[in-house]
Chain A
Amino acid sequence: MDAAATFQPNAAEAGIDRSLIVRNLTKAYRAGQPVLRDVSIAFAPRGVTAVIGPSGTGKSTLIRCINRLVDPTAGELLFRGDDLAKLRGRALREARRRIGMVFQEYNLVERLTVIENVLCGRLGYVPVWRAWARRFDSKDVDRAFQLIDAVGLTAFATQRADQLSGGQRQRVGIARALMQEPDLILADEPTSSLDPKTSVEIMELIASRAGERDIPAIVNIHNVALARRFADRIIGMSKGSIVFDGKPQELEDSHLLQIYGGEGWLE
């Protein structure tokens, strides 16, 4: 069929506003000790934003508040006409399925195969009995295979996730996120557990797939060079607040000292 020939595995729906507005976001895991302090950012409807900053500065919390793996203490998260911070139950699940997430430790279900992990990206759409019986829609299965091809794991599709290397696992993680047909990709230190070469490949994959889908990606990252290379915008955080927000070429050593503190490590 002609439809099959023109089938785009990674094409996004047109005409949707994918901008994300974070307003006065605060999160305190313990009362009186906020990890995020009154953060406000407007994310454009496309492009890669890198969030840099020292460990424990609230980068992960920021990302996890967006898809509500963490519940914010106060503030608004406006996305596609909803305040994500207020959603519960079904509405929250429906918002989550539009947001793909890539994790530092890949967080694949180890005992499932690669394709089962990728198909997990459809769980927001598929009734539980279908998932249980592995009777996924054949269109979903086809798309899962195409995504696995696209991330270069064709030969591993039916292997169990615990047999893969770190870089291969992260590719599965990205395919899982793309399988959701997301309107937004969140990546929480996606390269921190990987070697330098693989890190570049993974960032390249995230940036190119997000660009191809024309959706925004928010990436927490420790590696400033990678952030400069792949991001359209860099946000620097320190102690729960934003201390830098600009284009990669505007990020100077003085900013890095302000973000990470200390002296001498930059030389």
Chain B
Amino acid sequence: MSQAGPVQPRVAFPPNWTSRIVTVAICAYVVYAAQIVDFTWARFLTGLDQGRRFVARMFPPDFSADKLDLLYGGLVESMQIAILATVFGTLISLPLGIAAARNLAPAPIAWAARGAIALFRTLHPIVIAILFVKAVGFGALAGTLALTVASVGFVSKLVAEAVEEMSMAQVEAVRATGASFASVIVMGVFPQVMPRFIGFTAYELDSNLRNSALVGIVGGGGIGAPLFTAFQRFDYDFVLTIVLAIIAIVMVGEVVSGWMRRLFQ
């Protein structure tokens, strides 16, 4: 360079003071919050001692006949809740997701559908379950409705995204044949979206199997109620039985959902 004057040293990585200050602030807050809630090593050691007794009382798991009856009834109900909620939830999600896709639906409909989906997604399934238990009373109906709503919130958003990502060229070609909107959906949209929809359904079945164990804790039916009672009565050996059963169910669910995905590829 032939320029006059002192040469400015070039800085490859200029300091970013904003990010440094934010980092320090976050670290400081984490330490402060840990103090407030007694998240300390000493507290952990005290807890460990209690944990040792808890685990000791879990063994051996309780496999007595009356408990197994209770377990079986609860598990069957949980699976029914999960399957019903998955079927109804995903069936509602398909039209709702398409209605929310901005490349197919007119803007007002898309925004209305997006609003509904956002509403379904705001609350955790457990909170929805509490609402339904209060609204329709204790039992599997409340749990099924709660998980259905949660499934709709989750799956319809994914369906909307899948529809928005599909190839419009294929849709356009079907439309150009003079097909009605419904026929365009069936022959132009479904073939493109179906494999992912099956994937979402399989995932949702998986997730509902896990969540169906939870809704019982708040009175929504299924294995959650015996689990919660067992905890309160300090029947930790039966707790272990139930936990083992839930683990088994979830693993079976995973196998089934993987098998579903392959079947519908």
User: Which residues of A are in contact with B by a Cβ distance under 8 Å?
Assistant: 67, 69, 93-101, 103, 105, 107-112, 116, 120-124, 126, 128, 131-132, 173, 176, 180
Tell me if A95 and B178 are in contact (CB < 8 A): yes
Using an 8 Å CB-CB cutoff, how does the interface string of B242-259 with A read, 1 for contact, 0 for none?
000000000000000000
CA A107 to CA B170, docked complex, whole Å: 5
Q: Which residues of B lie under 8 Å from residue A121 when comparing CB positions?
A: 177
Identify which of B176, B182, B186, B192 gathers the most chain A CB atoms within 10 Å of its CB: B176
- Write out, one digit per residue, whether chain B residues 169-182 have a CB within 8 A of any chain A CB (1) or not (0): 11011111111101
Set B167, B182, B194, B195: member contacting A128, Cβ < 8 A: B182
- Whether A107 pairs with B186 at a CB distance below 8 angstroms is no
The B10-34 residues at the A interface (CB cut-off 8 A) are none
Closest to B167 in A: A110
Q: Is B183 an interface residue (CB 8 A)?
A: yes
Task: Count A-B contacts at CB 8 Å.
Answer: 84
Known A93-B179, A97-B178, A128-B180; judge A110-B192 contact (CB<8 A). Answer: yes
Set of chain A residues within 8 Å of B182, measured between Cβ atoms: 128
Among the listed B173, B176, B195, which residue makes an inter-chain contact with A109, where contact means beta carbons less than 8 Å apart?
B173
In the complex, how many angstroms separate the beta carbon of A217 from the nearest chain B beta carbon? Answer: 15
Q: Say yes or no: A120-B177 contact (C-beta < 8 A), given A109-B170, A132-B186.
A: yes
Q: Return A193 CB to nearest CB of chain B, in Å.
A: 12
Q: Does B183 lie within 8 Å of A128, measured CB to CB?
A: yes
**Chain B neighbourhood of A94, CB < 8 A:** 178
Per-residue CB contact flags for chain B residues 34-46 toward chain A (1 = under 8 Å, else 0) read 0000000000000
The reply to whether A96 and B176 contact each other, CB–CB distance below 8 Å, is yes
A residues near B175, Cβ cutoff 8 Å = 69, 96
Question: Chain B: residues with CB nearer than 8 A to chain A?
Answer: 167, 169-170, 172-180, 182-184, 186-188, 191-192, 194-195
Q: Which of A96, A128, A131 contacts B178 (CB 8 A)?
A: A96
Across the interface, A112 reaches (CB within 8 A) one of B167, B178, B180, B187, namely B187
In the complex, chain A residues whose CB is within 8 Å of the CB of B176:
67, 69, 96, 99, 101
A136 to chain B, nearest CB (A): 11
Contacts A111-B192, A111-B195: A123 and B179 contacting too (C-beta < 8 A)?
A: yes
> How far apart are A110's CB and chain B's nearest CB, in angstroms?
7
Shortest beta-carbon distance from B104 to chain A in Å = 15
CB distance from B192 to the nearest CB of A (A): 6
A-B complex: 3 closest residue pairs judged by Cβ atoms: A97-B178, A124-B178, A123-B179
CB < 8 Å neighbour of B187 from A100, A105, A123: A123
Chain B residues with CB under 8 Å of A101's CB are 173, 176-177
Residue of B with least CB distance to A132 = B186
Q: A120-B188, A121-B177 are in contact. List 17 more A-B contacts (CB 8 A).
A: A69-B172, A93-B179, A95-B178, A96-B177, A101-B176, A101-B177, A109-B174, A109-B187, A109-B188, A111-B191, A111-B192, A123-B174, A123-B180, A123-B183, A124-B179, A128-B180, A132-B186
- Closest B residue to A104 using CB positions: B169
Separation of A123 and B188 alpha carbons in the complex (Å): 11
Residue of A nearest to B193 (CB): A111
Most chain B CB neighbours (cut-off 10 Å) among A96, A107, A121, A180: A107
Query: Do A111 and B194 touch across chains, with their CB atoms under 8 A apart?
Result: yes
Is B195 touching A180 in the complex (CB atoms < 8 A)?
no
Residue of A nearest to B191 (CB): A111
B173 touches A108 (CB 8 A): yes
Cβ contacts A to B, 7 pairs, < 8 Å: A101-B173, A120-B174, A120-B179, A123-B177, A123-B180, A128-B182, A180-B177
Kindly provide the distance from the CB of B126 to the nearest chain A CB, expressed in whole angstroms. 37
Output the nearest chain A residue to B170 by Cβ-Cβ distance.
Answer: A109
Contact partners of B172 in chain A: CB under 8 A: 69, 103, 107
Give the one of B177, B182, B183 with max A CB within 10 A.
Answer: B177
Expressed in whole angstroms, the Cα–Cα distance for A205 and B144 within the complex equals 57
A120: chain B residues within 8 A (beta carbon): 173-174, 177, 179, 187-188
Which B residues are CB-close (under 8 A) to A132?
Answer: 186
Residues on B with beta carbons closer than 8 Å to the beta carbon of A105: 169
Distance, CA A110 to CA B195, complexed state (A): 12
Report the minimum CB–CB distance from B188 to chain A (whole Å).
6
Asked whether, in the complex, the Cβ of A180 is within 8 Å of the Cβ of B191, the reply is no
Please name all residues of chain B whose beta carbon is closer than 8 Å to the beta carbon of A93 when the two chains form the complex.
Answer: 178-180
A108 partner residues in chain B, CB cutoff 8 A: 170, 173
Chain B residues whose CB sits within 8 angstroms of the CB of A69 once the complex forms: 172, 175-176
- With contacts A120-B177, A121-B177 known, is A126 near B183, CB below 8 A? yes
Q: Which chain A residues border B170 with CB–CB below 8 Å? A: 107-110
CB distance from A143 to the nearest CB of B (A): 14
Q: How far is the CB of B263 from chain A (nearest CB, A)?
A: 15
Residues on A with C-beta less than 8 A from B173 are 101, 103, 107-109, 120, 173, 176
Which residue of chain A has the shortest Cβ distance to B189 in the bound complex?
A109
